[in-house]
A and B are shown apart, each in its own frame.
Chain A
Amino acid sequence: MNEKELVLEVSELTVNYGATSALKSVDLFAHKGEIVGLAGPNGAGKTTLLETIAGFLRQKEGDIRLFGTQINEFPVLKRRMMGVVLVPQERNNFPYMTVSENLDVGGIINCKDVNKRLIEEVYQLFPVLHTRANQLAGTMSGGEQRMLAIGIGLVSNASILLIDEPSTGLAPKMVTRLFETLGSIKELTGKTIVLSEQNIGVIDIADRVFGIEAGEVRFCEKTEDLDRDIIRDLYLGK
């Protein structure tokens, strides 16, 4: 009875790019309110996995279930309506719209009151977005654009946020702040987050880490049980 509700369940997922196999029989799961980290080097298949869950890529084999419902054949829009939202690594805002317009659009399917409340919450989490509310998103710094991308994801009121490598290209100080904020998002909103990261700092905020390499899951461990040597081997090789 103590077991938390299973939000996402991916089993034996195989995805090909032409003849090349990008994911091989991948298993993944996320419970309600968990941050699940996808750790692994560049090209491991993390982005492919998130994009397949969001519906942008189709699997060759395997199953994706959301709250127990199989969503294998559902288009992006239907998955979105069920609560799956992807925060892409690149091109993750509307560059010729202001910050406040970006957040408005992020919650376009919400009712007005809910949107207003969620935007206020985002402004509290990222005060810089509030001060830049009337600035065009494309003219902000890389770090601010990442915050906006996560803000858009939060306003979307998703059941499960798939955040793809939010720390890429950010200064170390900025990365630390970003991870702290992601941790507080979990505390404040209780959202389920699947977070792909090349940055090893992901293990400090995740409840569970899946190590991915060459399209395969090498390990799945609760963070407190995680042997740091495994992580080191994953990134640097044995």
Chain B
Amino acid sequence: MNLDAGITGIIMGGVLSLPVLGIAVIYGMTGITNFAIGTIGVFCAFMTWTFFSYGTVVGILVGLATSFVIGYVIQWFLLTPLSEKGGDSTLFFIVTICIGLVFTGLTRVLFPRPNISLLLPRMGTVRILGVTTSGLKIFAFFFALSVLFLIRLSEKHTNIGKSWRATSQNLKLAKTVGIDTQHVFAWASSIGCMLSFSGAVFWAALYNVSLMSGWDLTFLGFIIAVVGGIGNIWGGMLSALLMGMVMSYSGHILGGMWQSVVLYFIVILVLIISPRGILGSERSL
């Protein structure tokens, strides 16, 4: 029974880690807290649902392309210019919340249903330590893990990755040595939105996604990211897994109503003990 809750928690954490990674990539690179990321992910999941009749792959590709374009455009035309004009964190909080509300509104206007679930291939069942779980859940977990490693490897071994790290660590010097930081920011935003979209797709396949799910993804994602050390993708992943376990076990032992009480109490506790998060952050909020 307890092992079952543990595996559910790890998988939930794995799926949650996708928007958390998205937040970490955007914040780590641009220093901007983008609160629209969840609603953009959910909007694109609705796009995928709309195009699902043309095939699963087509639907997912449309969602990915849409999230890429949205991420790029809002960063290039809105957030980077605001940042260059000296926009502070309060301004970005308000602006990105407004962008999030625009996408919630657009989801309501453009799509006929307020909630969806996506029928992804179930990929059979897998038995781990005596607990049976669906192959899709395992796939979701390993997908998140692979994304994390892919990001880390490219940061370490490719010029593009190095230019991302350089931009996040010293913007002025990055510009000085010839890194096109405006493109770096736009790419970071696009990758963040695509990760959020991936999280929303798995969420819609394993549970379901509604108009307001984007805000859940955003706020839970941010809290998890801050607990891990915002901008630190290892910290984000670890925190997501821990929080997934906390949610799963607290729901299992105390009942669903206690889930958020336990979760947020632990968040407060962790941040009192370690204000920069479990693994610390190269940037601070």
Q: Could you list which residues of chain A lie within 8 angstroms of chain B, going by C-beta atoms?
A: 54, 56, 76-77, 80-81, 85-88, 91-97, 101, 104-109, 152, 156
What residues on A are CB-neighbors of B174 within 8 Å? Answer: 94, 105
Query: Residue B169 at the A interface, CB < 8 A?
Result: yes
Contact indicator A105/B176 (Cβ below 8 Å): no
State whether A96 touches B176 (Cβ < 8 A): no
- Contact assessment for B177 and A105 in the assembled complex, using a CB-CB cutoff below 8 Å: yes
By beta carbon, the residue of chain B nearest A56 is B172
| Residue interface bits B224-254, CB-to-A below 8 A is 1, else 0 | 0000000000000000000000000000000
B179 lies within 8 A of chain A by Cβ? yes
User: Smallest CB–CB gap between A114 and chain B, Å?
Assistant: 13
Are A77 and B175 neighbours in the complex by a CB distance under 8 Å? Answer: yes
Measured between beta carbons, the chain B residues less than 8 angstroms from A85 are 176-177
**Contact among A91, A96, A101, A156 for B177, CB-based, below 8 A:** A156
Q: B176–A80 contact, CB under 8 A?
A: yes
Q: Cβ of A56: which chain B residues have Cβ within 8 Å of it?
A: 172, 175
- Interface-forming stretch among B67-75, B158-166, B196-204? B158-166
- Is the pair B162, A105 in contact by a Cβ cutoff of 8 Å? yes
Closest 4 CB pairs of A and B: A109-B178, A80-B178, A94-B169, A105-B166
Measured CB to CB, the closest approach of chain B to A15, in angstroms, equals 17
A108 to B174, CA, bound (A): 10
Q: Determine whether the beta carbon of A88 is less than 8 Å from that of B173.
A: yes
Q: Which residues of B contact A (CB under 8 A)?
A: 159, 162-163, 165-166, 169-170, 172-180, 282
Enumerate 10 A-B pairs (CB-CB under 8 Å) in ascending A order. Answer: A80-B176, A87-B176, A93-B173, A94-B173, A95-B169, A101-B165, A104-B162, A105-B162, A108-B159, A108-B179
Is the CB–CB distance between B173 and A91 below 8 Å?
yes
Decide: A106 and B162 in contact? CB cutoff 8 A: no
Q: Which residues of B contact A105 (CB under 8 A)?
A: 162-163, 166, 174, 177, 179
Closest Cβ neighbor of B181 among chain A residues: A77
B175, closest chain A residue (CB):
A76
In whole angstroms, how far apart are the Cα atoms of A106 and B162 in the complex?
Answer: 11
Q: Are B162 and A101 in contact (CB under 8 A)?
A: yes
Q: Distance in Å from the Cβ of A52 to the closest Cβ of chain B? A: 14
Residues of the A chain whose Cβ atoms lie less than 8 Å from the Cβ of B166: 94, 97, 105, 108
- State the Cβ distance, A85 to closest chain B Cβ, in Å: 6
Interface contact B173-A108, CB-CB below 8 Å: no
Compute how far the CA of A77 lies from the CA of B165 in the bound complex, rounded to whole angstroms: 18
User: Considering the chains assembled together, what is the distance between the CA atoms of A140 and B13 in angstroms?
Assistant: 38
Residues in B whose Cβ lies below 8 Å from that of A88: 172-173, 176
Question: What's the Cα separation between A81 and B180 when bound, in Å?
Answer: 11
Query: In the complex, what distance in Å separates the CA atom of A92 from the CA atom of B170?
Result: 8
B162: chain A residues at CB < 8 Å are: 97, 101, 104-105, 108
- Whether A93 pairs with B170 at a CB distance below 8 angstroms is yes
How far, in angstroms, from A38 to B175 measured CA to CA in the complex?
23
Cα separation A26 to B179 with both chains bound (whole Å):
30
Docked pose: A105 CA to B172 CA in angstroms: 13
Distance between Cα atoms of A76 and B178 in the complex (Å): 8
Chain A residue with Cβ nearest B162: A105
Residues of chain B lying within 8 A (CB to CB) of residue A92? 173
The answer for the CA separation of A222 and B282 in the assembled complex, in Å, is 46
Complex CA gap A105/B174 in Å reads 8
Knowing A105-B166, A108-B159, A108-B162 touch, does A77 contact B173 (C-beta < 8 A)?
no
| Other-chain residue from B165, B170, B177, B282 in contact with A80 (beta carbon distance below 8 A) | B177
Contacts known (A96-B282, A108-B162, A108-B163); A152 close to B177, Cβ less than 8 A: yes
What is the distance, in angstroms, from A50's C-beta to the closest C-beta of chain B?
11
Q: How far is the CB of B126 from chain A (nearest CB, A)?
A: 38
Assembled-state Cα–Cα distance A152/B175 (Å): 13
Give the distance to chain A from B176, nearest Cβ to Cβ, in Å.
Answer: 5
Which residue of chain A is the closest to B159 with respect to CB atoms? A108
- Tell me, in angstroms, the Cα distance from A97 to B282 when the chains sit together: 11
